[in-house]
Structure formats: structure tokens, C-alpha cells
Chain A
Amino acid sequence: ETGVTQSPTHLIKTRGQQVTLRCSSQSGHNTVSWYQQALGQGPQFIFQYYREEENGRGNFPPRFSGLQFPNYSSELNVNALELDDSALYLCASSSRDRGSYEQYFGPGTRLTVT
């Protein structure tokens, strides 16, 4: 069983730029959630995708957007990057149809905005 993978591992961007982060869900999972983990903090929920549709969103501005593809992989896009967007971005997959809300996390993408 393949676990959750994320790419890239690290990324450095300049303020104002745009970034796309990618996530491949664990085999058999149809739900992907994205989290932002700032240094010294717990993960904060950004949004969740279930069967290619957004299914819940946290307190993040519209410049944070996402996609889920038919194979259940997902992208997180952030426009107009700000310095405070520097964080570890985590992707987690789960299988909502099985009634299990246990989420399996990927290793994360470390984004640095300068």
C-alpha cells in the first residue's frame, strides 16, 4: 500500500509569486485535506476535497485554492504569496466512504517566502 506523497519537498518563492503544491493520496482513499503548519504551531485546516469537490474550508483567504483530480490526487495553489505563508504544508488522505475519518499524512512541503 503506497502512502501519501507530496512534492516538492522544499520550495523557496518571492513575495507576490504563485505556488502549486502536489499531493498523491494513499491507495483506496478518495478524500484529501490540506493543512498549514507554521513553526511551533499545530496544523491548521485549509480545505478538504472529496470526489473532486471542495468539501469544507478553514479560515483561509480565497488566494488559497485547490483541485482534486479523478485519481484523487490533489493540488494546493497559493496566489500573491505573503511572508506569513512560510510554513510546512501537509496533505492528508482518508476514505470517507468507509466511514473512517482517520487521516494519513504526507511528509509535507516546506515553503519559504522571501
Chain B
Amino acid sequence: AQSVSQHNHHVILSEAASLELGCNYSYGGTVNLFWYVQYPGQHLQLLLKYFSGDPLVKGIKGFEAEFIKSKFSFNLRKPSVQWSDTAEYFCAVRGSSGSARQLTFGSGTQLTVLP
């Protein structure tokens, strides 16, 4: 079965700072990769996803992520964060066969953006 590791439990940034949240996964086959966001008091929402093709994917609200297969990574980036980006961010992976075809989430990174 696959696993997902998110390196930072809590990140604190000032507005306009650049963001990069790390995500590494372990799975030997083809993967689908996701970043979900959970704003305070709201449900989980999809930020972006990678299925195939261009490893640099763009999502909503100016977020992007790069799939680096050789590093088993799918880091989330944003050039300039806003106070409204304060939320919890979850990386998730879906493998290609058997029990790996279910979504496996990382433990999440809480992002706090200071005004």
C-alpha cells in the first residue's frame, strides 16, 4: 500500500511571501496525485490534481504543483500568499491497482498567513 508524507506540520508566513509545501509518497506504480484544502469551518475542496502529461499542474487560486517522478514528490507552490490562504492543506495519492486504488492522505500542513 502507498503512503504520503507531508514534511511541515505548521507553516507561518506573512502576506506576499512565497509558499512551498512538501509532499512525498511511496508507491512503485502509476499514481494520481491531489492537493486538497480545508478552509476554517469548510469541507475539503480539491485544489489541483495530476493524472498524466505535463508534470506542472495549475489549480485554483493561483496554486500550482510539480510532479517529480524521480523524487516521488508533488510539492505545492504559490508565488505570493494571501491572508485568505490560511487553511489546512492535504496531499493525497491514488495508486493504480488493488487496494492502492483508494485515496491515501498525508497528515496535513496547517498554513497560517499573517496580515
Interface residues in chain A, defined as those with a beta carbon under 8 Å from any beta carbon in chain B = 4, 33, 35, 40-45, 48, 56, 58, 90, 92, 101-108
Contact = CB atoms under 8 A, between A and B. Distances in A.
Interface stretch (B14-22, B41-49, B56-64, B79-87): B41-49
Contacts of B6: 42
B107 A40 contact: yes
- The 4 lowest CB-CB distance pairs between A and B, nearest first, are A42-B105, A105-B44, A107-B43, A45-B102
Given A42-B105, A101-B32, 15 more contacts: A33-B102, A40-B107, A40-B108, A42-B4, A42-B90, A42-B107, A42-B108, A43-B44, A43-B103, A44-B105, A45-B102, A102-B46, A103-B46, A105-B43, A107-B43
A32 B104 CA distance: 15
Contacts of B107: 40-42
Contacts, number: 47
Instruction: Choose among A35, A42, A45, A104 the residue with the greatest number of B CB atoms under 10 Å from its CB.
Output: A42
Contacts of A41: 107-108
B106 A42 contact: yes
Contacts of B106: 42
Contacts of B45: 105
A102 B51 CA distance: 10
Given A90-B44, A102-B46, A58 B102 contact: yes
